[in-house]
């Protein structure tokens, strides 16, 4: 009797896991098709001026991969400018692959995990790096 219960529980667990992974995979593949440019375009709409009040920071991205490139954001006391290319004297520089940056931005890759596994490198002020998530949620 116990063997049948264990077998039944394992079957239910396997089916549940397969359904969950399938749903997650569909969402991930849709999000994975985004490009860094689409992420930066979306950041324009999510800017929180109130959270950026009093913040003076220059962010630089160096993204490798087929959709990679360089982007920058200059936050200045509740306003921001954004562009492609390099910015002088960045406060923070993020280095990642294009796919990892998109995954970070869409929440399919955790920032701490990416940092600790080397998928994301951060040069400069760690506190300003964390502030970016409040300014552009």
Tens-of-pLDDT digits for all 137 residues of the chain? 544 443 333 333 332 333 233 333 334 454 557 999 999 999 999 999 999 999 999 999 999 999 999 999 999 999 999 999 999 999 999 999 999 999 999 999 999 999 999 999 999 999 999 999 999 99
Residue 131 to residue 109: CA distance in whole angstroms: 18
Q: Is 74 found in the same domain as 91?
A: yes
Q: Is 119 found in the same domain as 55?
A: yes
Residue 101 to residue 114: CA distance in whole angstroms: 9
Q: Is 73 found in the same domain as 27?
A: no
Q: Is 94 found in the same domain as 47?
A: yes
Domain ranges, residue 23: 1-33
**pLDDT of 1:** 57
If one counts every other C-beta atom within 10 angstroms of the C-beta of residue 75, the result is 24
Q: Is 18 found in the same domain as 47?
A: no
CATH number at residue 46: 3.30.1050.10
Domain count, the chain: 2
Residue 88 to residue 58: CA distance in whole angstroms: 8
**pLDDT of 33:** 77
**pLDDT of 5:** 44
Q: Is 82 found in the same domain as 28?
A: no
């Amino acid at each position: 009797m116990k063997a049948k219960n264990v077998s039944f529980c394992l079957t239910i667990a396997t089916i549940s896991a397969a359904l969950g992974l399938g749903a997650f995979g569909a969402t991930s593949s849709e999000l994975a098709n985004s490009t860094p440019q689409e992420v930066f375009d979306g950041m324009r709409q999510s800017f929180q001026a109130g959270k950026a009040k009093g913040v003076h920071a220059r962010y630089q991205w160096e993204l490798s991969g087929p959709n990679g490139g360089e982007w920058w954001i200059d936050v200045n006391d509740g306003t921001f400018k954004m562009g492609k290319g390099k910015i002088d004297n960045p406060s923070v520089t993020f280095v990642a692959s294009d796919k990892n940056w998109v995954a970070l931005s869409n929440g399919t890759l955790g920032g701490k995990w990416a940092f600790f596994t080397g998928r994301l490198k951060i040069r400069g002020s760690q506190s300003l790096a964390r502030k970016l998530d409040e300014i552009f949620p």
